[in-house]
Structure 1
Amino acid sequence: MLFKISWKNIIDKKLNSFLCVLLMTLGIGMISLLMLLGKQLQDKFAKNISGIDLVVGAKGSPLQLILSSVYQIDNPTGNVYLDDVQTIAQNPMVKEMIPLSMGDNFQGYRILGTNKKYFEHFKTKFASGKMFKADLEVVLGGQTALNTNLKVGDTFASSHGLDSEGEKHNERKYKVVGILEFNNSVVDNLILTSLGSVWSIHENHEAGEMEDSTKKREITSAIIKFRSPMGMMTMPRNINQNSKLQAAVPAIEVNRIFELLGIGIDGLQVLAAVIMLISGISVFVSLYNSLKERKYEMALMLSMGASRTRLFLMLLLEGIILSLLGYVAGILLSRIGIYLISNQLSKKFHFDVNQFALQTGEIYLFVGALLVGILAASLPSIGIYRINISKTLAEES
């Protein structure tokens, strides 16, 4: 009965109830969206740099080098000679060097020239087909295969540069020989091939090239892994100061990104918390006015045997119901937001954020929403204990 009466009171005050729920929805939705977005971005950024100690490439912005070489979401800083990178790789402190060469795309998905070590680093598994062996054979990431509808055995012509509208290399075509399982890493959105494939395509495309035997090979960048922390402490500065190459530490650059993002996210979370507080105030005002308007009704119920505690709980339940409605609507709103953001990121950067599971922080958010509702409802509900039954009934009669 308490729930039915509380729900009827909420329905009777449609405009006030809608305003309370709307404010709570906006506050909860914003905080939940920021939690989801921040966590997924951090997880994806952390997973993709896991095990990568250093990235070596052309001079320029270290952040641009990391974004282009590790996350594949920016333009490269330029090309470097493979011989120069191999000289670094021969240092006893270097455990492994993975070369990367890019410059073409298919429907916006980057074609990355590399070797088997790249697959081993990201622990990839094949859904179908096999590893490339000859030039112009490619292996597709899971998302790439899904979005381009390419299958093992299909051929395609790449576009020059990283823009899908670039000039096509129609004179030679790539052949799909393998498709990877979804890996939840940058590999999902790539087309992987050998370094020789990239060199071969561009040698045919560009005029006036030297013979293969005399030409110095170029790559875009290289991933470096050290044998011990000593390499991390000494080699980056040495490379930056004493060579034509640039060395960038992924962990440092990613921390800078999240420091900048953190300022904006914290500010938005404060704004969302203020909206939640305003929602609590609106619940308080709504129930306070409701109590004033229903004072005679309350006095009548008290005279008929209802206890003050029972009526107190009835008003308290109204606040809790409004908070719960706002919480549920806010969680749904945040999921819609994540879906829309994921679509935009996928179109522009082929970077998905699509985990919709309830986060630990959202459980605390649920508790917070309940507390806001309970506190906002408690203050006006205390007025029930101050109702003078006989005086109130006499005034209204």
Structure 2
Amino acid sequence: MRLALWTALRTLRHRLGALLITVLAVALATATALVVPMVTRQVERGAQDAAQVFDLLVTAPGSGTQAVMSTLFYLDVPIGNMPHRVYQDLRQLPGTRRAVPLALGDNFAGFPIVGTTAAFFDQRLKPTLPPYFRLAQGRVFTREHDAVIGARVARDAALQVGRTFTGAHGVETGPHEDDAGHRQPYTVTGVLAPTGGPIDRAVLTSIDTVWEVHGAQAAQAQAVTAVLYSAENLAGIYTAAQRVNASKDAMAVFPGQVFAQAREALMQGQAAYAGLSVLVLGIAALTVALSVYTSSLERQRTVALLRALGAGRGAVSTLVLLETGLTVTAGVLLGLALALLASRVGGSVLGAQLGFTLAPPVLTWALASRALLLIPLGLLTAVPHAIQSSRTSPLKHLS
């Protein structure tokens, strides 16, 4: 066995060019089969982590997905506004722990300006835990045109406590015709600690400021884009949702249900991609088979010499299988490393686009087993050549 391993390594070294091509083909096939599922799982986990602090979302009637994407992740245009009385009714509902209004519609350098109240900073994952959103510097806004900015806003816009900036109308960057009412500057009073979530790229100000900017000081003109609602218990949350959905002015959305629906759609896409992955891995197996066939032609003289020196057929077969096993194993291991690297880089880029930090990629056994199947599959393709080499007469290639 030791002799066969030594001979296999020497043979592979002499075939370094072909070896590298085969290893690279297997590695690329392995990485291709794993990257998309790994990044998809990163997005799922990142989105759930970013929204886990919110129990119930109340918005204007429309698409639940759009509601979540626009008001929790700031990735879409808000559906519309609701009457202020929706927020008031929720706040006064028995069993309410917290009702936090949101008013969207303006931006600063592409970062959404979110009008809310001080209750926003009291949101918690559990009642016994400290507030989820913490100030790294400064204080919460107390007057109109005070602003608390997310960590990414502070970094990208080079803002700090005491600095001022001017907002613009709309959810996208750029001047608008009606920006005259947005020229009064905001003053940064606080900077949030990084959360890895969408709030890192948000500008938080008092909801009165948003109303004032849009000329809605009168009570009948005041409206909210959404309400983040939390009750003392789960029954209270469902009661509030039923009450909201019974009206025509608003709808209640459970972010978890939206994620579940999105996950079902992703799972269908992953099933199709899994079929494509099998095809890609099959092509890699054919590449291995071609490499085994080519190497068997180059190996004939070596095999003949081994047979002439007394090596048995078993030793010759072992040599062929060892060469193939080493080649495929090297390719699979390199592919796993490439998949982790590509997933990490892709997750960072995608997270920056989505506005929240994605969790590090995780290579589960279920995913790794797809690639590891290439090893026995590669050995299987080498079996016929191993048998053929063991039956080769030494006289034929030494004469």
**TM-score of Structure 1 vs Structure 2, range by shorter chain:** 0.7 to 0.9
Alpha-carbon distance in 1 for matches of 2:74, 2:342: 26
Q: 1:142: Cα distance to partner? A: 1.6
Alpha-carbon distance in 2 for matches of 1:134, 1:59: 32
Answering whether residue 84 of structure 2 is matched by residue 82 of structure 1, we say yes
Percent identity reads 23
Per the alignment, residue 47 of structure 1 pairs with 49
Select the residue among 386, 394, 397 that pairs with 2:396.
Answer: 394
- Trace 1:352-371 onto structure 2 (pairs within 5 A): 352-353=357-358, 355-356=359-360, 359-361=362-364, 365-366=367-368, 368-371=370-373
Q: 1:283: Cα distance to partner? A: 0.9
1:119/1:30 Cα in 2 relative to 1: closer, same or farther (>3 Å)?
farther
- Trace 1:60-79 onto structure 2 (pairs within 5 A): 60-79=62-81
Select the residue among 266, 271, 276 that pairs with 1:271.
Answer: 276
Select the residue among 256, 263, 266 that pairs with 1:261.
Answer: 266
**8 A contact 1:58–1:78 mirrored in 2:** yes
- Residues 123-161 of structure 1, C-alpha deviations (whole Å, 9 max, x = no match): 122222222222212122122222222222221111211
1:395/1:36 Cα in 2 relative to 1: closer, same or farther (>3 Å)?
closer
Counterpart of 2:334, as a letter, is V
What's the secondary structure of 2:393's corresponding residue?
helix
Alpha-carbon distance in 1 for matches of 2:142, 2:5: 69
TM-score scaled by structure 1? 0.84
Q: 1:340: Cα distance to partner? A: 4.6
Answering whether residue 176 of structure 2 is matched by residue 171 of structure 1, we say no
Per the alignment, residue 127 of structure 2 pairs with none
**8 A contact 1:153–1:176 mirrored in 2:** yes
1:133/1:90 Cα in 2 relative to 1: closer, same or farther (>3 Å)?
same
Counterpart of 1:218, as a letter, is A
Q: What is the number of equivalent residue pairs in this alignment?
A: 386
Gaps of 5+ in 2: 125-131
- Trace 1:376-395 onto structure 2 (pairs within 5 A): 376-381=378-383, 383-384=385-386, 387=389, 391-394=393-396
Per the alignment, residue 231 of structure 2 pairs with 226
Q: 1:75: Cα distance to partner? A: 0.9
Q: 1:264: Cα distance to partner? A: 1.0
TM-score scaled by structure 2? 0.84
- Residues 93-146 of structure 1, C-alpha deviations (whole Å, 9 max, x = no match): 433211111111112111111223322326122222222222212122122222
Alpha-carbon distance in 1 for matches of 2:307, 2:357: 58
Counterpart of 1:380, as a letter, is A
- Residues 178-201 of structure 1, C-alpha deviations (whole Å, 9 max, x = no match): 222221222222111221222222
Quote the RMSD (CA, aligned, Å). Answer: 3.0
What's the secondary structure of 1:60's corresponding residue?
coil
1:64/1:378 Cα in 2 relative to 1: closer, same or farther (>3 Å)?
closer
- Residues 244-298 of structure 1, C-alpha deviations (whole Å, 9 max, x = no match): 2222222222211111122112211321232113212321232134224422321
Alpha-carbon distance in 2 for matches of 1:111, 1:39: 30
Per the alignment, residue 144 of structure 1 pairs with 153
Per the alignment, residue 202 of structure 1 pairs with 214
Answering whether residue 337 of structure 2 is matched by residue 331 of structure 1, we say yes
